[in-house]
Amino acid sequence: MGQDNPKAAALRARLDVGRPALAMAAHNPLAAKLAAAAGFDAIWGSGFELSASYAVPDASIIPMGTHLELMRAIGEVQDAPIVADIDTGFGNAVNVAYAVPRYEAAGVAAVVIEDKTFPKDSSLRPGGRQELLAVGEFQGKIEAAKAASGVLVVARTEALIAGLGLDEALRRGAAYAEAGADAVLIHSKQKTPDEILAFCRAWPGQVPLVLVPTSYPQLSFADVAALGKVGLIICGNHAIRAAVAAMQSVFARIIAEGGIAGVEADIASVADVFALQGDAGMRQIERDFLR
C-alpha cells in the first residue's frame, strides 16, 4: 500500500526525536482508557501483558485472534494511537502479510515485529532462548508488512539481548530501515543503559529509534530526548505490574484483617468504576429512547 492510514499518520507526527512520544502498556481496555486519561501519547498493545493477564508464559501461546480482539476493544474506548506488539509476526512473511492488514482493520496505528524465530521467548526471561532470523529473512517480513498495509512498521532487533554486540545491532537496524521500517526498536536487558546509549549515539538516524527502558529505569525521559535519536518511549509492562501489586496488597489485607472495611478508603469507589464503564451514557440512552 505504501501510504499511511490516518491513524498511522497521526502517530508518525508524534515521533519527534526532540520530544519523544510516550506509550503505556495495556492488557485490557480499562488499562488503556486509564493510560490515555493520564496523558500518554499512545497505547502499547503488549503481548507480555496480555499473556500475563491469562497467567501463561509470553511464548507465542496466546493466539493472534485473542490479541487482535484486544486491540480492537482498546480502540473502541479511547482515542490514543495503538502500537500493537505482534512478536515475531506469527510466522514467516506470508503470515505477516496476512496478519498486518487485520490489525489495520482493527484500528492500530503501528505494529512492532521482532527479529527472533517463531515461537518467541520473552526477551527478559533469565536464560531465555534468543535465536535471531537471518537479516534477509527479516527484511522480507518488513517488506511484506509494508506492502500489505498502511500502518507504521517498527522493526525490533534483539541483537544486544542475544549477545551479538553493538556492531551487529547497528548492522541489523540499518538493514531494517533500508527494507522500509518506519522506526527501529533496540532492546536490552542490561541493568544499566550503557549499551543502549552506545547504540543510540552510534545510530546514523535513518529512522527514529524506539526504546523500552524496563531494565534500566534510571534513564529518564529527558535523558532520552537529549539523545536526539528516539521518537517513542514505551513503558512496556507497568500496567500489569501495577495491577498485580495492587491486587496482591488488597487481597492480603482483606484476609489478614478479616473483612473489607479496612481497604475501602484505598481502592476505587464503585462510582469511579461506573464512570469508567460509561454508565452515565447508557443511562442517558435509556432516558432518551426507552419509553
- CA dist 230 and 194 (Å) reads 15
Euclidean distance between CA atoms 163 and 57, whole angstroms: 23
Length of the chain equals: 291
- The CA-based angle 176-177-182, given to 5 degrees, is 110
Taking the C-alpha atoms of residue 286 and residue 280, their distance in angstroms, rounded to an integer, is: 10
Cβ pair 211, 230 in contact under 8 A: yes
Task: Please count the other Cβ atoms lying within 10 Å of the Cβ belonging to residue 151.
Answer: 28
DSSP 202-236: H---SS-EEE-TTS-TTS-HHHHHHHS-EEEEEE-
What is the gyration radius of the CA atoms in the chain, in angstroms? 20
Longest CA span, the chain: 70
Geometric angle at alpha carbon 145, from 176 and 168, rounded to 5°? 20
The answer to whether 214 and 237 are in contact (CB under 8 A) is yes
**Distance between CA atoms of residues 280 and 54, nearest Å:** 30
Query: If phi over 0 gives left and psi between -120 and 50 gives alpha, with beta otherwise, what is residue 128?
Result: beta
Q: Is 109 helix (H, G, I), strand (E, B) or coil?
A: coil
Catalytic residues: 58
Is the Cβ–Cβ distance between 111 and 86 less than 8 Å? Answer: yes
